[in-house]
Amino acid sequence: AVCKELEAKMLDCSMRLEFEQALEYRNLLEDIKSTTEKQKIANKIKNEFFINMSHELKTPLNVISSSNQLMSILHKEDINLNPRSLLSNNIEVIKKNSDVLMEIINNIMDLSKLELNIYENNKDYYNIVTLVEDTAVEFNDYIKLNDIEIFFDTDEDAFPP
């Protein structure tokens, strides 16, 4: 009888221990789920903030870039006559840094969109021969002005369409 009573108490203790462990495990799982949901919400808010902030940063940066382009156009003759002048140098520095900053802003936006699964990949195929020819034509005035020769010759049929 004592053995049976002892077995019953051990079984009762064992069941109580298993129940407590199961309850603790369930609470732990609920905490993990809750934390995960909170992290997802916080991450979404952070990414939306970065996207909105990036748009806000682009506006003044576009104003700076546009002003720089206007200065470049208005002082084109001075720049062409003295390409190493302070004005020319400053315009170039502003352009380079504006381009770098715009690239950083675009990368932040793209990364945030990737994390939110709203990124749209805009891949396209271009004819590299036409692209290089068009670029060379764009520099035609500069090339003539500086007595530079550029040769670009390719067999267009060698490239697939």
Q: How confident is residue 155, by pLDDT bands cut at 50, 70 and 90?
A: low
Measured distance CA(46)–CA(51) in Å, rounded = 9
**What pLDDT is attached to residue 158?**
52
DSSP string, the chain: -HHHHHHHHHHHHHHHHHHHHHHHHHHHHHHHHHHHHHHHHHHHHHHHHHHHHHHHHHHHHHHHHHHHHHHHHHTHHHHHH-TTSHHHHHHHHHHHHHHHHHHHHHHHHHHHHHHTT----------HHHHHHHHHHHTHHHHHHTT--------GGGS--
* Phi and psi angles of residue 135, each rounded to the nearest 5 degrees, phi first: -65, -45
Our CA angle for 136, 139, 140, nearest 5°, is 85
**pLDDT over 80 at 4, yes or no:** no
**What pLDDT is attached to residue 92?**
93
Q: Which residues lie below 8 Å from residue 87, measured CB to CB, with a gap of 6+?
A: 71, 75, 78, 79
**Digit-coded pLDDT (tens) for 94-150:** 999 999 999 998 888 888 888 877 767 777 777 877 888 788 777 777 888 888 887
On whether the pTM is more than 0.85, the answer is no
Q: Average pLDDT in the 19-35 region?
A: 89
